[in-house]
Amino acid sequence: MDSMPPLLVVAGALVRGGAVLVQQRPADKAMAGLWEFPGGKVDAGEAPAEALARELNEELGVSVDPVKLTPITFGTGLIGSRDLVLLLYRVAQWTGEPQALETPELRWVDADALRDLPMPPADLPLIAPLCRILG
Ligand SMILES: Nc1nc2c([nH]c(=O)n2[C@@H]2O[C@H](COP(=O)(O)OP(=O)(O)OP(=O)(O)O)[C@@H](O)[C@H]2O)c(=O)[nH]1
């Protein structure tokens, strides 16, 4: 157990034509090479949807309206000894073409390809609910 409160992380599922956007974690970070959804930590005093809009702009260069982000499901895990809560939102609309500004590679994957990707443990419970959306 850790005395710190759980780390709150938001992630976005940008969905386009039966595919979702995933990005590869950089070589110099923990869990290097694994695939994840764009997003990041919620800052102190920040609403989760506002945090996700900020992260999507920083990581992909796209603009989204936080009001239009809809929750899909959540996952839990550990970062070291600290609890992690990972909130997955559906992103149906955005402005701009996503660019890999902070990661080596972006990939659009359908449900079958998503199930085969190596992802962090906290992401694994997100996959089935997301695949139901992808069809
Ligand atoms: N964005 C994102 N982060 C995830 C996912 N799954 C998951 O376990 N995480 C973890 O949630 C945290 C996200 O925070 P972050 O993006 O600011 O952290 P980072 O490790 O990339 O970099 P940093 O700690 O140097 O800022 C990381 O510890 C990351 O490993 C996911 O699908 N998307």
Report how far residue 62's alpha carbon sits from residue 78's, in angstroms, rounded to the nearest whole number.
29
Distance CA 85, CA 9 (A): 6
Q: Which of 23, 31, 36 to mutate to test the pocket of ligand 1 (most atoms within 8 A of CB)?
A: 36
Q: How confident is residue 2, by pLDDT bands cut at 50, 70 and 90? A: low
35 lies in a domain? yes
Total tally of structural domains belonging to the chain: 1
Sign of CA dihedral 77, 80, 83, 88: negative
Torsion of CA 128, 130, 133, 135, to 10 degrees: -60
Residue 1 lies in a domain: no
Could you report the per-residue pLDDT of 66-100, keeping only the tens digit for each?
Answer: 999 999 999 999 999 999 999 999 999 999 999 99
63 domain residue, yes or no: yes
**Full domain range(s) for residue 32:** 7-134
The answer to the question of residue 28 being in a domain is yes
* DSSP 8-state symbol, 115: H
129 lines ligand 1 (CB under 6 A): no
Please tell me the residue having the least CA distance from ligand 1 atom 29.
Answer: 40
State the pTM of this model: 0.96
pLDDT in tens, 22-52: 999 999 999 999 999 999 999 999 999 999 9
Kindly write down the DSSP assignment for every residue of 40-86, as one continuous string: EEPPTT--HHHHHHHHHHHHH--B--GGG-EEEEEEEEEETTEEEEE
In a domain, 23, yes or no: yes
Mutate to test the pocket of ligand 1, among 8, 9, 58, 126 (most ligand atoms within 8 A of CB): 9
The answer to whether position 55 is within a domain reads: yes
pLDDT for 28 equals 95
Does 2 fall in a domain? no
User: Where residue 12 sits, what CATH number does that domain have?
Assistant: 3.90.79.10
Q: If you average pLDDT over residues 4-32, what whole number do you get?
A: 96
Grade residue 3 by pLDDT with cuts at 50, 70 and 90.
confident
ipTM at complex level? 0.94
Q: For residue 88, give the 3-state DSSP assignment.
A: strand
DSSP summary character for residue 18 = T
Query: From the CA of 17, how far away is ligand 1's center (Å)?
Result: 26
